[in-house]
Chain A
Amino acid sequence: MSSDSFAGHLKTLIIGDVQADRVVPPSGFTAQLTLFAAGAMAFLAVFALALSLASGRLADRWADELARAATLRINAPAEQRAAQTEAALKILRQTPGVASARAFTADEQAALLAPWFGAGVPLDALPVPQLIEVIEDDPGYDATGLRLRLQAEVPGAVLDDHTRWREPLVEAAHSLRLLAVVSILLIAGAMGAMITLAANAALAANAQVIEVLRLVGAQDGYIAQAFIRRFTLRALSGAAVGMAFGMLGVWLMPAASDEGGFLTGLGFQGFGWLLPLAIPLLGALVAYVATTRAAKKRLGDLT
């Protein structure tokens, strides 16, 4: 289809033809079914999209935040802890690929333990290891070589580069995003199936109208257009309403917070709020394709 004919086709679809629209009588239940199906699917699609975006953000954040950081734990008797900490820091400063290394202060360690032991933890009375935050450079350090050196020179040092738990978390977040994308595709497919059923019902209910139109010289494109336009606009309007309710639902969800964890971050951010606007257009496209196929098949069966 050339760009001119496509533009003409789109114009006809949007503006329509009052006379042509009157030729096919309004169909009761198929109209309501299309509106309801499009609305419900758009509502679900908004949540699937929000989930997809949120899990994507989560995967990126976990990957970014954890990939460049590591923790060195000094498990040494209290009298050796300061010396081993200093030795470890010295090694870290000499290690290529380490951007910075810093020992946590007593207050910072107490803050980390506060969620479990409450405020004002007497660190002196507890066998709490000294923690050192290691920030990786780009390119990073050789973790195996660093471990071997620490093992030889700082016997109480244990390097945790977060790999053990970062990868499954990032993988889970990616899986969640994939699941959300698959959900959107399934929603589009289910909507297409429902609209195909509704269009077939409308075409069957109007078999006599179609027969009369053929007899007076209507071309297939003209007949199909009457149905396609109707179903496309219904899907567009139904999906717009569903999308509006879906966005309202997402907007009413609690804002992202550290306390609430992942669930409170389920929403849109910035330009992300514009993405759901594509859902009604996608719904209209699905309806257009589904009705075109149904009409083509049905009209092809007639003489």
Chain B
Amino acid sequence: MLWGKTSGQKLGAAVIELDNLGYNYGGGELLSGVSVKLAPGSFHFLTGPSGAGKTTLLKLCYGALTPTSGRVRAFNMDVKGLDRDQMALLRRRVGVVHQDCRFLDHLPVIENIALPLTVSGRDLGQEEANLRELLNWVGLADRSDALPPELSGGERQRAALARSVILSPDVIIADEPTGNVDWEMSQRLLQLLVELNRMGKTILVATHDLSLIRAAKNQVQARVLRIWDRQLHLAGADL
């Protein structure tokens, strides 16, 4: 299971660290004084009301947005100091699952899942067994040649999850991965994320689905972070 490996790199206290982060949007302050450390192998949920800035916070973590103030450190590197090529390399170490999945609709599922391998210059012929194993793991072995528009919501999310782990990243960030799927499928996706966490991956999941968080608490030790009034809080037992 090559995609389940961790990098083995000696990491500091945190794989991703947000330090007193602020982000302004549309003339207003969306996030302010946000500080958090994601330890290696930890599992975090990020919750909060719609429009609170969950997706923004995730994007700040993998460098898709630049903070207005404060600092983002990933793998002991200041993200702000990375050039464009270094940023691309950082993104190979952070697997991202978007709510809308973002596939290339002209490529079949297997090629979409293999996209991180393709762009990093790997020979897909040598990765075939690894790819098939991953498709089996997410339950899409019989859908490998389908085009993304032909997939159901749950299949799309599983394919997106498979794509996010194909390069065996250290961190997996998922934005509302269960937003468009039924309860049964959300439990299956949760199970896959828990399995990845048990392999040593750091997981950060943004969700407004509190039942998902409750279900996860039975399977994994997860911290729940809540964005409220522009700031990040550690959620209590009321969840």
By a beta-carbon cutoff of 8 Å, the part of chain A in contact with chain B is: 19-20, 22-23, 25, 208-209, 211-222, 299-300, 303
Complex contacts, B106 vs chain A, CB 8 Å: 25
Taking a contact as CB atoms closer than 8 A, the residue among A19, A209, A211, A217 that contacts B88 in the complex is A217
Do B103 and A217 touch (CB < 8 A)? no
**Do the beta carbons of B103 and A212 come within 8 Å of each other?**
yes
Residues of A contacting B167 in the complex (Cβ-Cβ under 8 angstroms) = 217
B11 in contact (CB, < 8 A): no
Q: Is residue B163 contacting chain A, with contact meaning CB distance below 8 A?
A: yes
CA of A22 to CA of B102, assembled, Å: 17
- Residue from B64, B89, B124 within 8 A of A217 (CB atoms): B89
For the complex, is B10 an interface residue (Cβ under 8 Å from A)? Answer: no
Chain B 96-140: CB-based contact to A (< 8 A → 1; otherwise 0)? 101000111011000100011011110010000000000000000
Identify A219's interface contact among B88, B98, B107, B115, CB under 8 A: B88
**With A215-B91, A217-B88 known to touch, is A303 a contact of B119 (CB < 8 Å)?**
no
Chain B contacts of A300 at CB under 8 A?
Answer: 84
Q: Which residues of A contact B65 (CB under 8 A)?
A: 303
* Cα distance, A303 to B119, chains bound together (Å): 17
Contact A214 B63, beta carbon cutoff 8 Å: no
B85 interface neighbour in A23, A25, A211, A220, Cβ under 8 Å: A220
Quick one: which of B64, B111, B163 contacts A22, CB cutoff 8 A? B111
Known: A216-B92, A222-B121. 20 other contacts (CB 8 A): A19-B118, A22-B107, A22-B111, A23-B107, A23-B118, A211-B102, A212-B104, A213-B115, A215-B91, A215-B96, A215-B98, A217-B92, A217-B116, A217-B119, A217-B167, A218-B88, A219-B84, A219-B119, A222-B119, A299-B84
CB nearest neighbor in B for A213: B119
Q: List 27 A-B contacts (CB under 8 A).
A: A19-B124, A22-B107, A23-B104, A23-B118, A23-B119, A25-B104, A209-B104, A213-B115, A214-B88, A215-B91, A215-B102, A216-B91, A216-B92, A216-B119, A216-B163, A217-B92, A217-B116, A217-B119, A219-B84, A219-B85, A219-B88, A219-B89, A220-B85, A222-B119, A300-B84, A303-B65, A303-B66
Distance of A303 Cα from B79 Cα, bound (Å): 12
Given contacts A22-B111, A23-B107, A303-B66, contact A218 B102 (CB under 8 A): no
- Chain B residues near A (Cβ < 8 Å): 63-66, 84-85, 88-89, 91-92, 96, 98, 102-104, 106-107, 111, 115-116, 118-121, 124, 163, 167
Q: Which residues of B contact A208 (CB under 8 A)?
A: 102
A206–chain B nearest beta-carbon distance, Å:
10
Contact B63 A20 (CB under 8 A): no
The reply to whether A217 and B111 contact each other, CB–CB distance below 8 Å, is: no
Measured CB to CB, the closest approach of chain B to A86, in angstroms, equals 89
The CA-CA distance from A302 to B98 in the complex, in Å, is 18
Taking a contact as CB atoms under 8 Å apart, the answer to whether B63 and A303 are in contact is yes
Cross-chain contact A303 with B124 (CB below 8 angstroms): no
Contact indicator B119/A218 (Cβ below 8 Å): yes
**Are the C-beta atoms of B84 and A220 separated by less than 8 Å?**
yes
In the bound assembly, the distance between CA atoms of A216 and B118 in angstroms comes to: 10
How far is B87's CA from A219's CA once the two chains are assembled, in angstroms? Answer: 8
Q: Are B115 and A212 in contact (CB under 8 A)?
A: yes
A residues near B102, Cβ cutoff 8 Å = 208, 211-212, 215
Taking CB as reference atom, which chain B residue is nearest A303? B64
Q: Is the CB of B115 within 8 A of A23?
A: yes
* Chain B residue at minimal CB-CB distance from A222: B119
Give Cα distance in the complex from A22 to B108, angstroms.
11
Contacts of A213 in B (CB 8 A): 115, 119
* A20 neighbours in B (Cβ, 8 Å): 118-119
Query: Chain B residues with Cβ under 8 A from A217's Cβ?
Result: 88-89, 91-92, 116, 119-120, 167
How far is B110's CA from A22's CA once the two chains are assembled, in angstroms? 13
For the complex of A and B, 4 pairs with smallest distance between CB atoms: A217-B92, A218-B119, A217-B91, A219-B88
Which residues of chain A have C-beta atoms less than 8 A from B111's C-beta? Answer: 22
Return chain B residues, CB-CB under 8 Å to A219: 84-85, 88-89, 119
- Kindly provide the distance from the CB of B149 to the nearest chain A CB, expressed in whole angstroms: 13
Hey, which chain B residues are within 8 Å of A22, CB to CB?
107, 111
Shortest Cβ gap from B217 to chain A (Å): 30
Residues of A close to B64: CB separation below 8 A: 215, 303
Query: Do residues A216 and B115 form an inter-chain contact, with CB atoms below 8 A?
Result: yes
CB closest chain-A residue, reference B101: A212
- A219 to B92, alpha carbons, bound, how many Å? 10
Nearest residue (CB) in B for A20 is B118
Q: How many angstroms from the CA of A299 to the CA of B116 in the assembled complex? A: 18
Which residue of A has the minimal Cβ distance to B117? A19
A212 to B91, CA, bound (A): 11
CB distance from A17 to the nearest CB of B (A): 8
